[in-house]
Chain A
Amino acid sequence: MLNLVALILLFPLIGTVINGLAGKRLRKETVGYLACGAIGLSFLVSFMVFIGLLQLPPGERLFEKHLFRWIESGSFISAAALQVDPLSVVMILVITGVGFLIHIYSIGYMHHDKGYHRYFCYLNLFVFSMLLLVLSNNFLLMFIGWEAVGLCSYLLIGFWFEKKSASDAAKKAFVVNRVGDFGFALGIMLIFLTFHSIDFTEVFSAVSHGNFEKGSFTVTMITLLLFIGATGKSAQIPLYTWLPDAMEGPTPVSALIHAATMVTAGVYMIARCNALYLLSPFTMTVVASIGVITALFAATIGLVQNDIKRVLAYSTISQLGYMFLACGVGAFTAGVFHLMTHAFFKALLFLASGSVIHALSGEQDIRKMGGLKPHIPVTYKTFLIGTVAIAGIPPFAGFFSKDEILLEALVRGNFIYWSLGAFAALLTAFYMFRLLFMTFHGECRVDHHAMEHLHESPKNMTLPLVALAGLSFVGGFFGIPGANALEHFLAPVLGGHGHTEVSGTVSAGHHGAWLPYLMMVISTAIALVGIFLAYQMYIKKPELSKKLAERFRLIHKLLLNKYYIDEIYDAIFINPTKKISTQVLWKVIDVRMIDGSVNGIARLVGRIGSVLRHLQTGYIRNYAFYIVVGCILIIVLAVFGR
């Protein structure tokens, strides 16, 4: 059954090709069924592969499927081969499962769009690329998947490309990603130089059996470069600026790409390379620090945003920060666990917000919403479940994963990590419930025109919401402490360092057996405090928010304008680059030097010609003279040349 793994990639590819080439001529229903069917079949095959993997004994759960010979250049070998092991199986189940639900949702959401077939073509291509990324068995193939998801995110963010803000956002996403990809590519080259191979199995076994001491410079550089790629793809500081603008794309796109799958590629990559990262304490510190700072940073910005999708975007950046924090302290399993649960509830939140926007005929500003609870009940209930999950209330999914991260941060990291993470959790609970209250509760601030068209979304949009809500509820039980199935499953890949046993037998840190339970209580308490504050500010006394904004006007302005980071980047990077490109590279080098030299050669030939043509005087006697001179020269050369 494991041999079927290539089919997982094949179905979305077929979907892309057919929809891309013939989509315009097919009926809308056919396009939709084709795309969803492809992903659905991929999900079934992924599940079969999962069963097949389970049938292998735990220590041998690694299956490689070689597709064809691709690059063999001297010692640089990169085969087109797929690797099935616990980590990639978790990823493909999440990708195809959540992707399938999002595809179904898209049928309803994009029904009236005239680019319907193009949308599904790109969406399938995206799933294909993401699957390629997680299934590949060497760095180069993964890099191809990495770049391809960047391309698809460009295509999908700029889906409504006639809108200038959308195409600008797409360009921004692609370029910022590219900066990260540059670091990633350098990392791959350095890996090849060091290990003479880019195959995962070879590299990681060389690391464990080799004699690289901890903190060696080469490994630190490799991991830092790879991490730069991860910051670009997973929107961490400093390369996160593209993700909020990426909300210009259709909401299902935001759900799939920017919540569930693409942005998690960075976390996947770090988890995959955990052997390398564990050898480099410096990079781990960097990763954890950037992760927790980003989590806090994005949470503060999300406090005051007024666009429903922007709030969710910043919360995505914040939750990704948590995943990096987990990886940075060595708790890779916790990071992957949070990746999984985050996929569920963030996709749910995005899709539910899409349902709200759909119901309100396009309104996205939460100041113009409110009191929608009685009108769109299914959306409300699922949104509520998602919000509770992200806030970290047991027994929903987000609680277990976030709690585990905070525990590991405290035990393996230090108190600062924990405190910053806990504060960010407080803010998360606060702003998510702020979002919920302002959208669904309170007085109705919707304008009349939208009120007339207010309706619950069709079945094909609400059913995925319900499914995802269910997953958000039960998803946490995969990693419940004490019977951590996920950790055992991922142990062969993530080295078993992933989790601190509750009973304290595997000690990655010294603590008592009571610590995990105390942490659970504290985390729940933090979440409840956040909810209470939001309730106070937005339900009980709505004018309190305005008064606070007035009092702390400067801070409010700073947060509202995202700390002016975009403007700072513009001033430091964008404008100088544009100036250099225009003044130096274009006007001087391209026009004067390159064009000038090419034209200059032509002009030179012309000038030489205009000088030489004076030889043609038209007088025969001149020509006769030249003949005689030539004749003399020939005789001299022939006779005396030898």
Chain B
Amino acid sequence: MLAYLFYIVAAITVTTAVYLIFEKNPVFGALYLIQTMVSLAVLYILLEAQFVAAVQIIVYAGAIMVLFLFVIMLLNLDIGEETKNALPYQRIPAILMGIALFTIICIVIRSKILQGKQDQYTTAVVQGVGNTKLIGNLLFTEYLLPFEITSILLFVAAIGAIMLAKRKL
């Protein structure tokens, strides 16, 4: 049953992603992207990563995409794309490159080059402790330094965004 769920959600994700790249109106594009993210969140839940799914929806779909929409509205960009295309000849090579990239990645996936070591957090353990609690444990013990640095990064990004977008310095 889970298999069917996976296939359906996967289909939705891919479809909305493809619609995104062909959409002229940026507002609609943003909505497609939101849908992609939500279906990704469903997939995360299928993968027993509930905290990540929640964060995906709250942060990505809820904050970042809303920021995108704010900017679109601010700059009055919902009209649609201008028609000047300086590089019309890049279309076909781009698609070909994309297909090549996909092929290479699939080959790499199938070739069993990438190996990983089995760790100890099996599904039973995770369900026993609780996904969020486990992440919290690890985040504040083993991965404390990246955590702190990330907080500084956010701080810097906030200042940077303000400085860049001001009208007068």
A628→B90 contact, CB < 8 A: no
How many Å from the CB of A265 to the closest CB on chain B?
A: 83
B84-113 residues with Cβ-Cβ distance < 8 A to A are 86-87, 90, 93-94, 97-98, 100-101, 104-105, 107-108, 111, 113
Interface residues on A, range: 10 to 19
Chain B residue at minimal CB-CB distance from A622: B87
A-B contact pairs, 20 of them (CB 8 A): A619-B86, A621-B87, A621-B90, A622-B87, A622-B90, A625-B90, A625-B93, A625-B94, A625-B97, A628-B98, A628-B101, A629-B97, A632-B100, A635-B105, A635-B108, A639-B104, A639-B107, A639-B108, A639-B111, A639-B113
CA distance A628 to B94 in the complex (A): 9
CA distance A621 to B90 in the complex (A): 9
Contacts A632-B104, A635-B108 given; 9 further ones with Cβ under 8 A? Answer: A619-B86, A621-B87, A625-B94, A625-B97, A628-B101, A631-B101, A635-B104, A639-B107, A639-B113
How many Å from the CB of B82 to the closest CB on chain A?
A: 15
The contact string, 1 if C-beta is below 8 Å from chain B, for chain A 602-627, is 00000000000000000101100100
Report which of B87, B101, B104 forms a contact with A619, defined as CB distance below 8 A.
B87
**7 tightest A-B contacts by CB?**
A628-B97, A635-B104, A632-B101, A639-B108, A621-B87, A632-B100, A619-B87
B108→A632 contact, CB < 8 A: no
How many Å from the CB of B63 to the closest CB on chain A?
A: 26
How many Å from the CB of B77 to the closest CB on chain A?
A: 18
Interface residues of A (CB under 8 A from B): 619, 621-622, 625, 628-629, 631-632, 635-636, 639
Residues from chain B with Cβ under 8 Å of A629 in the complex: 97
Residues from chain B with Cβ under 8 Å of A621 in the complex: 87, 90
Residues from chain B with Cβ under 8 Å of A639 in the complex: 104, 107-108, 111, 113
Residues from chain B with Cβ under 8 Å of A622 in the complex: 87, 90
Where chain A touches its partner, the secondary structure class is helix
CA distance A625 to B94 in the complex (A): 7
Chain A residue at minimal CB-CB distance from B113: A639
How many Å from the CB of B121 to the closest CB on chain A?
A: 29
CA distance A635 to B108 in the complex (A): 9
A632→B97 contact, CB < 8 A: yes
Residues from chain A with Cβ under 8 Å of B86 in the complex: 619
How many Å from the CB of A625 to the closest CB on chain B?
A: 6
CA distance A631 to B98 in the complex (A): 11
Chain B residue at minimal CB-CB distance from A635: B104
Chain B residue at minimal CB-CB distance from A631: B101
Residues from chain B with Cβ under 8 Å of A635 in the complex: 104-105, 108
How many Å from the CB of A634 to the closest CB on chain B?
A: 10
CA distance A151 to B163 in the complex (A): 78
CA distance A514 to B97 in the complex (A): 116
How many Å from the CB of B52 to the closest CB on chain A?
A: 26
Residues from chain B with Cβ under 8 Å of A625 in the complex: 90, 93-94, 97
B103-133 residues with Cβ-Cβ distance < 8 A to A are 104-105, 107-108, 111, 113
How many Å from the CB of A629 to the closest CB on chain B?
A: 6
B59-86 residues with Cβ-Cβ distance < 8 A to A are 86
How many Å from the CB of A75 to the closest CB on chain B?
A: 64
How many Å from the CB of B19 to the closest CB on chain A?
A: 21
CA distance A621 to B86 in the complex (A): 10
Most buried by A among B100, B104, B107, B113: B104
Residues from chain A with Cβ under 8 Å of B94 in the complex: 625
CA distance A343 to B105 in the complex (A): 100
Residues from chain A with Cβ under 8 Å of B93 in the complex: 625
How many Å from the CB of A241 to the closest CB on chain B?
A: 79
A636→B97 contact, CB < 8 A: no
Assuming A625-B94, A625-B97, is B87 touching A636 (CB within 8 A)?
no
The contact string, 1 if C-beta is below 8 Å from chain A, for chain B 25-67, is 0000000000000000000000000000000000000000000
Chain A residue at minimal CB-CB distance from B107: A639
Residues from chain A with Cβ under 8 Å of B111 in the complex: 639
Chain B residue at minimal CB-CB distance from A628: B97
How many Å from the CB of B158 to the closest CB on chain A?
A: 26
Residues from chain A with Cβ under 8 Å of B90 in the complex: 621-622, 625
CA distance A636 to B93 in the complex (A): 18
Residues from chain A with Cβ under 8 Å of B97 in the complex: 625, 628-629, 632
CA distance A619 to B84 in the complex (A): 13
CA distance A474 to B105 in the complex (A): 112
Chain A residue at minimal CB-CB distance from B108: A639
CA distance A619 to B85 in the complex (A): 11
CA distance A629 to B96 in the complex (A): 11
Residues from chain B with Cβ under 8 Å of A636 in the complex: 104
How many Å from the CB of A635 to the closest CB on chain B?
A: 5
CA distance A628 to B87 in the complex (A): 16
Chain A residue at minimal CB-CB distance from B94: A625
Residues from chain A with Cβ under 8 Å of B101 in the complex: 628, 631-632
Chain A residue at minimal CB-CB distance from B103: A632
Residues from chain A with Cβ under 8 Å of B87 in the complex: 619, 621-622
CA distance A636 to B101 in the complex (A): 10
Residues from chain A with Cβ under 8 Å of B113 in the complex: 639
Residues from chain B with Cβ under 8 Å of A631 in the complex: 101
How many Å from the CB of A642 to the closest CB on chain B?
A: 10
How many Å from the CB of A435 to the closest CB on chain B?
A: 98
Chain B residue at minimal CB-CB distance from A636: B104
CA distance A628 to B113 in the complex (A): 22
How many Å from the CB of A330 to the closest CB on chain B?
A: 94
CA distance A632 to B107 in the complex (A): 12
Chain A residue at minimal CB-CB distance from B105: A635
CA distance A619 to B89 in the complex (A): 13
CA distance A249 to B168 in the complex (A): 86
How many Å from the CB of A34 to the closest CB on chain B?
A: 80
CA distance A30 to B80 in the complex (A): 102
Residues from chain B with Cβ under 8 Å of A628 in the complex: 97-98, 101
CA distance A635 to B98 in the complex (A): 14
CA distance A373 to B107 in the complex (A): 119
CA distance A629 to B98 in the complex (A): 9
CA distance A472 to B105 in the complex (A): 109
CA distance A635 to B94 in the complex (A): 18
CA distance A622 to B111 in the complex (A): 31
CA distance A636 to B113 in the complex (A): 12
CA distance A625 to B96 in the complex (A): 11
CA distance A628 to B90 in the complex (A): 13
Residues from chain B with Cβ under 8 Å of A619 in the complex: 86-87
How many Å from the CB of B133 to the closest CB on chain A?
A: 38
CA distance A116 to B18 in the complex (A): 100
How many Å from the CB of B90 to the closest CB on chain A?
A: 6
CA distance A365 to B112 in the complex (A): 109
